Amino acid sequence: MKLIFHGHSCWEVVGEKHRLLIDPFLTGNPVADVTPSSFDQLDAILISHGHSDHLGDAEPIAKLTGATIVANYEIASYYAERGCKSHGMSIGGGRDFEFGRVKLVIAHHGSTGPNGEALGSPAGIVVHLDGKRIYHAGDTGVFLDMQLIAELNGPFDACMLPIGDNFTMGIDDAVRACELIRAKLFLPMHYNTFPVIKADGEEFLQKVKAKGLRAREIKVGGTLEL
């Protein structure tokens, strides 16, 4: 499995036969390295919650590629009304798709849509693909049940955590989250997109290392092979 970071919280997940995109915020993202037209084949677009910097370009990409939008029921319905193929889920629910397994887990945040629509509960996303397990925590603060998420769904080969503060965990809280989750590798996200979420990725790496855990900063456009 390969993980490609497209900035903010957008990750492309590339398996042997399948390709997924998580939180496709590209248009309006000042650090994004790709555009919606960069994708010609996707199996699914996974969305953590309804904020515009996570919904992003889901609709045009889904229509271009034929990908299924997988998200909470409210977001899936929102896109079904717009002519997109979608599949709705809810917190705690998992499903086996042709490409692998997806489960939605708790995240503590909001989930209103671009025009104030109520778009269900925010979520973290657990993906099983090609024998690997990853956990995209979405936008969230730290919470003790991260340990339970890891016990029920791990061990995780990689975990993507927000570190930008203000809207999500900052660095110190994210380090505590690492201690609860204990993934094989932690990847920071949701930082340095805008001034209000400026954070030092190297500080995060060093503080995780001090806890005896592994972290790596993936630059926008960078690829990690698990």
Global confidence as pTM: 0.97
225 assigned to some structural domain: no
Per-residue pLDDT tens digits for 65-117: 999 999 999 999 999 999 999 999 999 999 999 999 999 999 999 999 999 99
Q: Name the domain count of the chain.
A: 1
What's the domain range around 27? 2-218
Q: Which tokens belong to 84?
A: 């997109």
Q: What is the pLDDT of residues 14-24, one digit of tens each?
A: 999 999 999 99
In tens, the pLDDT along 33-42 reads 999 999 999 9
- pLDDT tens-digit series, residues 204-222: 999 999 999 999 999 999 9
Contact 157, 134 (CB under 8 A): yes
Q: What is the CATH number of the domain that holds 139?
A: 3.60.15.10
Local confidence band at 136 (pLDDT 50, 70, 90 cut-offs):
very high
Distances in whole angstroms, Cα of residue 103 to Cα of each of 77, 191, 218, 223: 18, 25, 24, 24
What is the pairing mode between strands 132-136 and 123-129? antiparallel
The answer to whether residue 223 sits within a structural domain is no
Residue tagged 């690829």 (tokens): 223
